[in-house]
Structure 1
Amino acid sequence: MRREPVVRMAELEIDPHMLEAYRVLLTEEIEASVALEDGVISLSAVSIRDNPNRIRILEVYADQQAYEAHLQTPHFLKYKTATAGMVTSLTLIEVDPIAMRAKP
């Protein structure tokens, strides 16, 4: 059975007064996820240059099981709890990979 990767994009808007605190928590969560979870292939977060409180995250997981496991990790649950009052809008978008490459 072939494992299909799960690729998602998250579009978030953050309360501008809480942006720096949010960025710290997001960075901690991404670093922990990539370091501790074999099923997390990559997590990349960027902000819109002219609207830095608009964050985009590209998430790549080995498969659906890896994605579901990620949602239950202590570091992800800490992030969700700590940032709940900071996020003013969240849209999760299911996407299909076309070409995804990275250097080792």
Structure 2
Amino acid sequence: MAETLTIIAEFGTTPETYDKFLEMCYYDSERSIADEAGCLEFTVLTPQDEGNTVVLYEVYTGRTGFDAHLQTPHFQKFSSAVRDLKIEQRSVRFFNKRSS
């Protein structure tokens, strides 16, 4: 049985940090898709009615694919930006998708 891991992470910014954080999200997304065999999808979403919110939709081959993502240089850069820009991590949810 194949299993993928989907992560939905929601972040809050300020008007001053929104563009910089969004740029970092796109960078992390592009590098994840290009450099990681375990990353199947990485989409950056911005809700229409919440101007300072960014949602990341990520799909990995499983927990090992996600754990490998956490060790990459681009994720480390993203993580530093979250800290340095004082981005609010509102929620991070993990979902398993099983198929036969």
User: Under a length normalisation based on structure 2, what TM-score does the superposition of the two structures give?
Assistant: 0.87
Cα RMSD of the aligned pairs, angstroms, is: 1.9
Alignment TM-score, normalising by the size of structure 1: 0.84
User: What are structure 2's unaligned runs of at least 5 residues?
Assistant: none
Q: Given the alignment of the two structures, is residue 4 of structure 1 paired with residue 3 of structure 2, yes or no?
A: yes
- Equivalent pairs counted in the alignment come to 98
Please tell me whether the aligned partners of residues 15 and 86 of structure 1 are also in contact (alpha carbons under 8 angstroms).
Answer: no
On the 8 A contact 2:9/2:92 being kept in 1, the answer is yes
Alignment match, 1:101: none
* 1:41/1:61 contact within 8 Å kept: yes
Displacement of 1:35 after TM fit? 0.2
Identity %, equivalent residues: 25
Give, as a single letter, the amino acid of the residue that structure 1 aligns with 2:9: A
Could you tell me how far apart the structure 2 residues matched to 1:86 and 1:46 are?
A: 19
Q: After superposition, what is the alpha-carbon deviation per residue over 1:51-95, rounded to whole angstroms, capped at 9, x for unaligned? A: 121111111001111100000100000111022224123310122
Q: Which residue of 2 aligns with 1:83?
A: 82
Which residue pairs with 1:26 in the alignment? 25
- For the Cα contact (< 8 Å) 2:22–2:54, is it kept in 1? no
Conservation of the 8 A alpha-carbon contact between 2:3 and 2:97: no
Q: Check conservation: 1:45, 1:56, Cα contact below 8 A.
A: yes
Give the Cα separation in 2 of the matches to 1:63 and 1:97. 9
Alignment of 1:16-95 (within 5 A): 16-84=15-83, 85-95=85-95
